[in-house]
């Protein structure tokens, strides 16, 4: 099993969890496999409170961080992976099966922080939530019954991630841009597209999600992200000068 | 995933389960991973009844077989494997970690029936129950917190048993942008940076090379390259309108 400091680089993020038993089960699986960082994004308040106050609630649960929105919950992560069953959803992202996806996440953990997202019990991750992801990961379940219980899905993913975490390969690579700077780039690009007239003022959420996904696919390094932010700012300034006239 | 006839050769045996939610969770994980044969040995009557009558209880649960004792539940199996955390128990049996144990069980399933035993939530398998086993299998959990939730333990074991590296499906990979379109993007970006004033009119070859390398690092797909060309053209048009004034 990998060093503890390394497993702490993976944030397990539950988005919109409704059932306190599932939140508790996720925390228990984390403890079984040595992960410590649990975050919940826009949870049902009562579910989160109940899970924390349950008899035998773990230290992980006590220290779990609550965020009002997903963007904040993943801001410090440079890799964001969403879990999905792909049921009833068009494939907008590359999708890896767990075996390979876990290897990619482990590689990333050697040099930066990663987030693994699980959606609500009822509907999984929404399109808006998925648009924050670099890629998706799927547990190879049966097509006729792909949808897993949340606590069980967390356990299976963490088992695979911890299984031979000892063989994390160091990759000589650039530091990847954080989700926060990818999101800043998304916001600036949208502003540029609006001020240039590429997008109408009233372009909707689906356009925004499309642009967000596209920015994530760039897999920018931290350095390149800064460069892009500077270039976009200047182009926006110019476009907005024109619009003032 | 192995042929269905083969997965039906594995009997999942819950011995002394007390919690209907756990029995239901075990059945759900079986369905997710394609296993069909659930047996419960000396269960708490009420737990078993409740699990079967739960809303959304699966066919697997409806067909689950109840046995008064473990010997009957495993009578037709030629391999019996017990799951354990090894906590507080002397090792009387050979013990395999899940990865290796699953491979041995799969080999056996090619020619005969096997049983995988899970003990009660409170105490696991008793020494009497363990004595029916050929060997034991252990999920590699953390020493400080080895004991898993029953439903999660079943899910992890069945994931490993169903995982088959031979049937890994290739990731839907996107066609990469040609060098030609990467170069068009470079040219447009340089033009945009000049017309916005980010670069001086006389910025030299080294700046051009820096931008070219940066565009190559994006590793754009053919589709994304087209999208970027369109966005840049519009922003440039806007910037140049301003410059004409």
Whole-number Cα distances in Å, B236 to A237, B92, B190, B194:
12, 76, 10, 9
More confident of the two residues B165 and A49:
A49
Percentage with pLDDT > 90 across chain B: 40
Confidence (pLDDT) at B155: 97
More confident of the two residues B42 and B88:
B42
B161-188: average pLDDT: 67
Spatial contact of A81 and A136, defined as CB atoms under 8 Å apart: yes
User: pLDDT band at A82, cuts 50/70/90?
Assistant: very high
8 Å CB contact of B142 and A1:
yes
Name the CATH topology of B4-167.
Alpha/beta knot (3.40.1280)
Q: Domain residue spans in chain B?
A: 4-167, 179-244
The residue among B25, B156, B208, B209 with the most chain A CBs within 10 A of its CB, best to mutate, is B156
Residues from chain B that touch A189, judged by Cβ atoms under 8 A, are 231
Percentage with pLDDT > 70 across chain A: 90
Confidence (pLDDT) at B61: 92
**Whole-number Å distance between alpha carbons of B167 and A8:** 32
Backbone angles phi, psi at A37, to 5 degrees: -100, 100
| Average pLDDT score over chain A | 86
Confidence (pLDDT) at B55: 67
Give, in degrees to the nearest 5, the angle at Cα A21 between A15 and A27.
65
Name the CATH topology of A179-244.
Helicase, Ruva Protein; domain 3 (1.10.8)
Q: For B199-236, how does the pLDDT look when each residue is reduced to its tens digit (9 = 90+)?
A: 987 788 888 888 888 887 787 888 888 999 999 999 99
CA dihedral for A81, A85, A87, A91, sign (positive or negative): positive
**Whole-number Å distance between alpha carbons of A76 and A243:** 35
Confidence (pLDDT) at A164: 67
B2-21: average pLDDT: 83
A179-244 matches A4-167 in CATH topology: no
Q: Strand, coil or helix: what is B176? A: strand
**Whole-number Å distance between alpha carbons of A103 and B165:** 14
Confidence (pLDDT) at B172: 41
What does the radius of gyration of chain A's CA atoms come to, in whole angstroms? Answer: 19
A212-234: average pLDDT: 88
Confidence (pLDDT) at A160: 95
Q: How far is B232 from chain A (nearest CA, A)?
A: 9
Q: For A147-203, how does the pLDDT look when each residue is reduced to its tens digit (9 = 90+)?
A: 899 999 999 999 999 986 543 333 334 577 888 888 999 999 999 999 999 998 778
Q: For B76-124, how does the pLDDT look when each residue is reduced to its tens digit (9 = 90+)?
A: 888 899 999 865 455 677 888 999 999 999 988 888 889 999 999 888 9
8 Å CB contact of A141 and B227:
no
pTM over 0.80: no
8 Å CB contact of A238 and B238:
yes
B6-32: average pLDDT: 92
Backbone angles phi, psi at B18, to 5 degrees: -110, -20
Residues from chain A that touch B155, judged by Cβ atoms under 8 A, are 148-149, 152-153, 155-156
Percentage with pLDDT > 70 across chain B: 89
**Nearest Cβ partner for A234 among B98, B197, B242:** B197
Confidence (pLDDT) at A161: 95
8 Å CB contact of B163 and A100:
no
Confidence (pLDDT) at A204: 83
């Amino acid at each position: 099993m990998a060093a503890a400091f390394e497993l702490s680089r993976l944030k397990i993020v539950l988005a919109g969890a409704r059932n306190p038993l599932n939140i508790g089960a996720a925390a228990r699986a984390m403890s079984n496999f040595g992960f410590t960082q649990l975050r919940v994004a826009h949870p049902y308040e009562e579910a989160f409170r109940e899970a924390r106050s349950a008899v035998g609630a773990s230290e992980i649960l006590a220290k779990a961080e609550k965020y009002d929105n997903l963007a904040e919950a993943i801001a410090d992560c440079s890799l964001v992976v969403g879990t999905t069953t792909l049921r009833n959803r068009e494939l907008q992202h590359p999708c890896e099966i767990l075996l390979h996806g876990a290897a990619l996440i482990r590689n990333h953990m050697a040099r930066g922080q990663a987030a693994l997202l699980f959606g609500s019990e009822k509907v999984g991750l929404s399109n808006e939530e998925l648009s924050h992801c670099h890629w998706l990961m799927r547990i190879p379940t049966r097509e006729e019954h792909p949808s897993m219980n949340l606590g069980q899905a967390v356990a299976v993913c963490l088992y695979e991630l911890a299984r031979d975490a000892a063989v994390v390969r160091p990759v000589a690579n650039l530091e990847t841009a954080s989700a926060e700077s990818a999101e800043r780039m998304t916001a600036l690009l949208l502003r540029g597209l609006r001020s240039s007239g590429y997008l109408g003022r009233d372009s909707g959420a689906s356009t925004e999600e499309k642009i967000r996904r596209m920015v994530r696919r760039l897999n920018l390094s931290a350095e390149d992200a800064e460069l892009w932010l500077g270039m976009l700012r200047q182009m926006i300034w110019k476009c907005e000068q024109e619009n003032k006239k």
